[in-house]
Amino acid sequence: MPTNNVTNRTFEELFSSNIRYEIPFFQRGYAWEKRQWDTLFFDIDDQILNEISGDNDFDQHEHFFGPIVVLEKSNSDPQLKRFLVIDGQQRITTIYLLLALISESLKSKSNLSEDANQYVHELDKYLKNDIIDKTDDYKKLKVYSNKGDRLPLYTILFKENPVSPYLAADQQLYIPSHNKIDMFSNFARKKIKSYDVQKLWQLAQALLKCLKIVWIPLDENRDDPQSIFESLNDKGIPLSASELLCNFIFKPLIDDVTNQHETLHTEKWLKSIKEVGGDSNFEHYLRNLFSIEQKKMIGKGRRIYVFFKLNNKNLSKQSAFYYLNDISDCGKLYNQITNPTGYPYPNTDLKNVLIKIKQTNMESSIPFLLAILKAIKNQSLSDGDAVKILDETLVLLVRRKICELKTTKYDTLFPSLFSKIKDEPNKVKAIQDCIRKEDLWVSNQEFEEAFINKSLYKQTELSFARLILQEIDKKMQSHGQLPDYSTINTIEHTMPQTLDGEWKDYLGSDVNDLNLDRIKNSLGNLCLISRPANSFVGQDPFEKKKNSYTDVSALTRDIKARNVKWNIASIKDISKDLAHYGLDIWKWS
């Protein structure tokens, strides 16, 4: 980065003329938080205002406020000088906004002091460009963001919406409850609420005259502002993977003449973030989407960006459009996988198997599921074939989870699995071959033994245990109509998890069995009842509890029909009986 013309400057110098500091498209919006705001106010109070004498000698006090790296843009408007803010957005936005809030407070106190209106008039020189453009009021702003911040900033200064071709898009982007401009405004208003007119003016003078920044200009013809920005960013609040990806993908799409990138950003990128449920979900979505056809699942966080950048070193405009459209088009598919009840797939059979896969909590399968739904969307795979493939996938997930087998190989199996089977005439056989090749196959014997001897009930895996019990219960039902499982979705331990004295006497020597806790959580000791019934039976003795069970669930009917003492031996016998249903439900095709 060049150091030509590096100087120390004040905000008074930065804001003194008709000028616009533009936050480039590749930067995030305003992001400072309470920690940075508290530090700013503390430093101004402690190192400036407390040191000022009665003569208000602001010119004699300096407080270093960090660098601001800018790139001057060629401009067809001779009235307005334009700079891209490559580094220092948070600092310049905070000071500009705080000066606006001081002016606002001074106006509210104009009836208390004759000086207030004079001070407001003085501050206007630093806050508002003296430019009239009937097509775009935003030119009045001296700090201009295109990330959803310019509308709240404008309304704070001018108390009205701007006339601008960008207003409609900005209104879509602006979410008051989440916008940091509003958050800082609320914070600062509380801070300065008790300030009188003179203290407000002192604060404004301190901001304008005493905060010193290092002004670092770049050369538009020689320097790459985005690369410099990324290298400087880690010193502030680090950009997230999705923010870095946004910068990278949009770089070849930016067009300062048509501003098409703004429309694409709103209608593709931001809409996708909202569709999948926010920033954290969006990174999870991108990680799974970009993992499709890869040898293994790509890493989390910034590794998503590093992976994408390394694989797209010379990203063309055409490729950027492709990725942007892919991200926009697949968000709905991601929701149908990660929230299949809230976003049900239109085909009932596919919807049902997606719900069951979701209940296994095996998120490693998401790239594979996305690839399948993309293939259906592209009409290269039928719904029927997709159901067969996903049924086989469910068998794998259930069998290995019941057997408590390692799932580490899933990260290398699932990303590329669909690419390996998509051209095979018998896709079910192809997926079985891949499972065997990766040594992930689970035999019937292993599966049955696990049903009998492993713990099914785990506090962290309730949805999976509920899936197993519901599917077995359905298989056992002899009546034509299935019960409403939403009303009998509580997992009941026939032998209670915590044994009272009566249960201990009833069990006799079984109480001392080292495997008792595991047996209590195994298949044979579990059934489905309603939540009120679960609370009602509690630790009741076996015979009383059994008589309280309803006939709605096939599992409870089975318990009531058995004339047994409820101990370790009978639980194992029941587990073995129920395992046969499991073998039939989750059988290899």
Please state, in angstroms and rounded to a whole number, the distance separating the CA atoms of residues 282 and 464.
Answer: 25
Q: What angle do CA 164, 263, 178 make, to 5 degrees?
A: 80
- Model-level pTM? 0.80
Q: Which residues contact 61 (CB under 8 A, 6 or more apart)?
A: 47, 48, 51, 52, 206, 209, 210
Amino acid 55: pLDDT: 58
Please state, in angstroms and rounded to a whole number, the distance separating the CA atoms of residues 55 and 52.
Answer: 8
**Are 273 and 282 spatial neighbours (Cβ–Cβ below 8 Å)?**
yes
Q: Looking at the DSSP assignment, which residues form a beta bridge with residue 491?
A: 528
Amino acid 218: pLDDT: 85
**Residue 2 — very low, low, confident or very high, per pLDDT cuts 50/70/90?**
very low
Please state, in angstroms and rounded to a whole number, the distance separating the CA atoms of residues 152 and 419.
Answer: 47
**Are 394 and 352 spatial neighbours (Cβ–Cβ below 8 Å)?**
no
Write the pLDDT tens digit of every residue in 446-501.
999 999 999 999 999 999 999 999 999 999 998 778 899 999 999 999 999 999 99
Considering only residues 515 and 218, tell me which one the structure prediction assigns the higher pLDDT: 515
Please state, in angstroms and rounded to a whole number, the distance separating the CA atoms of residues 181 and 151.
Answer: 10
Q: Which residues contact 32 (CB under 8 A, 6 or more apart)?
A: 90, 93, 94, 180, 184, 237
Range with the lowest mean pLDDT among 210-224, 330-344, 545-559? 210-224
Q: Looking at the DSSP assignment, which residues form a beta bridge with residue 146?
A: none
Task: Tell me the residue length of the chain.
Answer: 589
Side chain identity at residue 271, one-letter code: K
Q: Per-residue pLDDT for 28 more than 80?
A: no
Amino acid 18: pLDDT: 93
Spans of all domains in the chain:
7-227, 457-585
Write the pLDDT tens digit of every residue in 84-120.
898 899 999 999 999 999 999 999 998 888 899 999 9
Strand 211-218 relative to strand 7-10, pairing = antiparallel
Mean pLDDT of 539-552: 90
Side chain identity at residue 163, one-letter code: V
Side chain identity at residue 160, one-letter code: E
**Residue 232 — very low, low, confident or very high, per pLDDT cuts 50/70/90?**
low
- Written as six digits, the tokens of 142 are 């001296």
Q: Looking at the DSSP assignment, which residues form a beta bridge with residue 82?
A: 20, 73
Helices 317-338 and 348-359, axial angle in degrees (round to 10): 80
Amino acid 1: pLDDT: 42
- Written as six digits, the tokens of 85 are 């803010």
Cβ neighbour number for residue 494 with a 10 Å cutoff: 21
Helix or strand or coil: residue 352? helix
**Residue 561 — very low, low, confident or very high, per pLDDT cuts 50/70/90?**
very high
- The fraction of the chain above a pLDDT of 70, given in percent, is 95
- Written as six digits, the tokens of 235 are 């010193």
**Are 408 and 474 spatial neighbours (Cβ–Cβ below 8 Å)?**
no
Write the pLDDT tens digit of every residue in 127-144.
999 988 889 999 999 999
Q: What is the mean pLDDT of the chain?
A: 91
Task: State the DSSP code for 586.
Answer: T
Write the pLDDT tens digit of every residue in 151-206.
999 999 999 999 998 898 888 888 887 899 999 999 999 999 999 999 999 999 99
154, burial (CB in 10 Å: exposed 0-12, middle 13-18, buried 19+): buried
